[in-house]
């Protein structure tokens, strides 16, 4: 497996107090430890192939957007994407005291999926202004088949809006194979995982941000995921059964 090691860089906090610096060092160390553990774990139990169609910028604001196959996707992508990710995560994960501590330490941003969440948008824009990378699943949940963006299903509007408001490029990614990990026996079979990192999609310029340009940008993002799925199928010689299936379907497999 030939991949670039994750670049664990982020802007330093604006305050210079000792407490802020210590918190920054703790989060950076904790995040790096978790990313490293994820990379080692999935390298051991799976056969991971990562392909970058274009270099990922080592600095500056980016939005990493991927299809969502399973609950294992965030740690897999975090372990093998070449930069550290600040994930947009559903608010339910922060409701327990331990969940809030852990996901806050991992620099995740809580998102209320029931409606417009301006607080999470402001936090994401602030992180991007610091030159960080936001990780997002534009499907809004685990999807397979016709409900997946890989097959042209509509995305949530948050991805395009975040990119346009922040002027940060979107790096579309396709992850295939993680849904097979719902079958316990596959953890002992070095299940193949494929991560294809696509070319950056640039948001429209300020002077052209009318409704039509936004719709065209959303359509361009949608096409990027469909194109990446086709590219992955060709590069990795994938059969229809290799493509994302629902957790229920994978748990019921007999092989």
What is the tens place of the pLDDT at every residue in 117-154?
788 999 999 999 999 999 999 998 999 988 999 999 99
Alpha-carbon distances, residue 243 vs 58, 149, 193, 217 (angstroms): 30, 12, 11, 26
pLDDT at residue 10 tops 50: no
| Residue 249 confidence (pLDDT) | 81
**Whole-structure pTM value:** 0.88
* Structural domain spans, the chain: 54-235
pLDDT per residue over 44-82, tens digit each?
A: 999 999 999 999 999 999 999 999 999 999 999 999 999
pLDDT at residue 4 tops 50: no
Contacts of 132 (CB under 8 A, 6+ apart): 10, 11, 61, 84, 86
What is the rounded radius of gyration, in angstroms, for the C-alpha atoms of the chain? 18
| Residue 210 confidence (pLDDT) | 72
Contacts of 25 (CB under 8 A, 6+ apart): none
User: What percentage of the chain exceeds 70 in pLDDT?
Assistant: 88
Which burial class, exposed, middle or buried, applies to 67 when counting CB atoms under 10 A from its CB (0-12, 13-18, 19+)? buried
Q: Residues in the chain, how many?
A: 255
Alpha-carbon distances, residue 72 vs 148, 179, 181 (angstroms): 17, 8, 8
pLDDT at residue 12 tops 70: no
b/e burial code for range 206-216 (CB count within 10 A of at least 16 → b): eeeeeeeebee
**Which CATH code is given to the segment(s) 54-235?**
3.40.1130.10
pLDDT per residue over 178-222, tens digit each?
A: 999 999 999 989 999 999 999 999 998 865 667 788 889 999 999
């Amino acid at each position: 497996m030939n991949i670039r090691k994750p670049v664990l860089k982020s802007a330093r906090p604006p305050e210079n107090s000792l407490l802020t610096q210590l918190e920054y060092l703790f989060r950076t160390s904790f995040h790096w430890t978790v990313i490293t553990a994820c990379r080692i774990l999935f390298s051991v139990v799976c056969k991971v192939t990562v392909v970058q169609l274009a270099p990922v910028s080592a600095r500056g604001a980016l939005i990493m957007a991927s299809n969502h196959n399973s609950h294992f996707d965030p740690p897999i992508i975090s372990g093998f994407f070449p930069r550290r990710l600040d994930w947009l995560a559903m608010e339910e994960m922060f409701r327990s005291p331990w969940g809030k501590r852990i996901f806050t330490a991992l620099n995740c941003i809580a998102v209320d999926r029931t409606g417009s969440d301006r607080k999470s948008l402001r936090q994401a824009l602030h992180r991007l202004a610091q030159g960080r990378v936001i990780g997002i699943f534009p499907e809004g949940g685990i999807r397979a088949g016709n409900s997946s963006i890989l097959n042209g299903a509509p995305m949530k509007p948050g991805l395009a809006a975040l990119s346009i408001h922040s002027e940060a490029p979107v790096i579309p990614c396709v992850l295939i194979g993680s849904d097979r990990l719902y079958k316990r026996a596959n953890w002992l079979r070095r299940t193949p995982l494929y991560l294809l990192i696509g070319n950056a999609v640039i948001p429209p310029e300020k002077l052209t941000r009318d409704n039509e340009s936004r719709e065209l940008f959303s359509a361009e993002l949608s096409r990027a995921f469909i194109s990446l799925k086709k590219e992955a199928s060709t590069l990795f010689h994938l059969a229809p059964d290799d493509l994302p299936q629902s957790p229920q379907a994978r748990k019921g497999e007999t092989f």
